[in-house]
Amino acid sequence: MTRPPAVGSPSEEGEKRAEREGTAGAPATATDTATIPATDAASVPATAPATGTTPVRRGRRRAVFLLAVVIAWTLFIAARTAFSGRWWLWNGLGLAPPLAHLLIPLALLIPAALVARRRRVTLGLVLVSLLLGSWQSGLHPGALLHGRDEVPADALRVVSWNTFFWDQDSDPDDFYAYLKSRPADVYLLQEYQNARDGEPVPIDRLARVEAEFPGYHVATAGEFLTLSRYPLTAVTALRPDGLAAPDTAWADYWNIRALRTDLRVGGRTVSLYNTHLPDLLNVDRNPLTPSYHRSVRQLSERRERHFGELRADLDANENPVVLAGDINVLPGTGDLRWFRGLRDAADDGDSLYPATFPVRGPALWRLDWAFVSPGIDVHRHVLDDPPADLSTHRLIDLRLSLPDTDTDTHTAPAPTPDSDKDRS
């Protein structure tokens, strides 16, 4: 006896489906005979879940990362603007090559303009950092516009150079030959010294100097040597009071960081300051150690006293001034406030980026400067690369014209030494 099919059996469901689709009588297939359980359509996902990160999410993360980088850089450049040269701790932090303060925001400008999210905020911060960075970049765009004017025949020729331990690491004949290849009326030379066991030591090369530069007047004090074709009317070594005990046996190296010489040039008196101000930091110490930061702070305190002594002398000096040397100041920093009232001679030079250190490879930092009184005309400000075995610093070559007015009636009397410490 054949058992009738149960209601809802596979064969019955297949026949009904075939009738609905207009295929009654067609042979049933395996699909037709498969049981399709009833389900809730809402419980079945429309698509399979995506694997990985969606493009929208990736774009959001990139925008957040870019904004974080821009915020960090803007805070850094703003802090450098506020603290450099004013807070000792910054002396060990803000030492990036000055040109980087312009190049980094320029590099951030393109992705900031293309980012889809938070574009306005990101782009605005980049523009702020670009504005601040351009002021601290050390660029002199005016150099592109300056022509080579004719230098008057009576122009004062001044050379300033950090010799880097004089002739210690080079052939003395090569050293003097290079120096004489840059003819000058006045040479402002720093690091007239040698080094022994990592410490500065004084030297005596005056016999050779006088033989190489006959007829020049010579002034020395500490690490400084000044040569002049013109008579010296006064020589003053600037020694500030209240300095900490020197770090090495040669006290004058630490205590004298500027040598002033007054010259008579064409009936006028002009003051030249041969300068080498203390370093910002000691590169031989590990920045992750407490001794490094103590050293940075001690050097900062010493710098402040030397800056203050130099500023006081400038304020009391009514002569035209030429100040040059390795002053260890970076462009756009607060230390430049000590030279207010003087003009950067590089403004009239032909170098777009007048960096002076190091000589080997591209010069990235400007440590050596020349400043002049507003009334002095600068006809030339040229940087020259010495042979790398002579020095790590580039040489500054100036051609200047002094004011026409006789400065005798505007000259402060030369200070009279009241103790041995005021004699050089």
Nearest-angstrom CA–CA distance, 417 and 424? 10
Are the C-beta atoms of 275 and 328 separated by less than 8 Å?
Answer: no
Residue 291 pLDDT more than 50?
A: yes
Give residue 10's pLDDT. 46
pLDDT digits (tens, 9 = 90+) for 235-267: 999 999 999 998 889 999 999 999 999 999 988
Closest CA to 163 of 376, 380, 386: 386
Residue 250 confidence (pLDDT): 96
Least confident of 21-25, 123-127, 270-274: 21-25
Give the residue ranges of DSSP H helices in 269-393. 290-316
Residue 13 has pLDDT above 70, yes or no: no
**Can you tell me the distance from the alpha carbon of 127 to that of 106, in angstroms, rounded to the nearest whole number?**
9
Residue 23 pLDDT: 46
Residue 349 confidence (pLDDT): 94
Q: Which residue has the tokens 């103590």?
A: 294
Question: Distance between CA 265 and CA 139 in Å, rounded?
Answer: 33
Across residues 279-290, what is the average pLDDT? 85
Angstrom CA distances, 95 to 24, 89, 101, stand at: 89, 12, 11
Residue 274 region by backbone torsions, left for phi larger than 0, else alpha for psi between -120 and 50, else beta: beta
Mean pLDDT of the chain: 86
Structure tokens at 100: 């980087």
For 240, the token pair is 């500030």
Nearest to 336 by CA among 310, 358, 302: 310
**Residue 358, exposed/middle/buried by CB under 10 A (0-12, 13-18, 19+)?**
middle
10 closest CA partner among 26, 30, 25, 24: 30
Q: Are strands 186-190 and 156-162 parallel, antiparallel or unpaired?
A: parallel
Position of tokens 């004062």? 156
Weakest-pLDDT range from 39-48, 302-311, 363-372 = 39-48
Q: Residue 118: what pLDDT? A: 87
* Structure-derived torsion over alpha carbons of residues 382, 385, 390, 395, reported in degrees to the nearest 10: 10
The mean-pLDDT minimum among 83-97, 163-177, 321-335, 347-361 falls in 83-97
- Give CA separation, 243 vs 14, 309, 315, 408, in Å: 106, 11, 21, 34
Least confident of 40-44, 224-228, 375-379, 419-423: 419-423
pTM: 0.81
Cβ atoms of 410 and 403 within 8 Å: the answer is no
Lowest mean pLDDT among 1-15, 190-204, 214-228, 341-355: 1-15
Quick one: tokens of 351? 């170098």
- Residue 77: phi and psi, rounded to 5, are -70, -30
C-beta neighbour count of 150 within 10 angstroms: 7
End-to-end CA distance of the chain: 136
pLDDT digits (tens, 9 = 90+) for 93-144: 888 999 999 999 999 999 999 887 888 999 999 999 999 999 999 999 988 8
Q: In what order do the strands lie in the sheet with 368-372?
A: 232-237, 258-265, 268-276, 321-326, 368-372, 343-344
Length of the chain: 424
Tens of pLDDT, residue by residue over 153-205, are 999 999 999 999 999 999 999 999 999 999 999 999 999 999 999 899 999 99
Which tokens in the block code for residue 343?
């003009």
For 13, counting Cβ atoms within 10 Å of its Cβ (0-12 exposed, 13-18 middle, 19+ buried), the class is middle
Q: To the nearest whole percent, how much of the chain has pLDDT over 70?
A: 83
Highest mean pLDDT among 75-89, 289-303, 309-323, 405-419: 309-323
Distance of CA 409 to the CA centre of its chain: 41
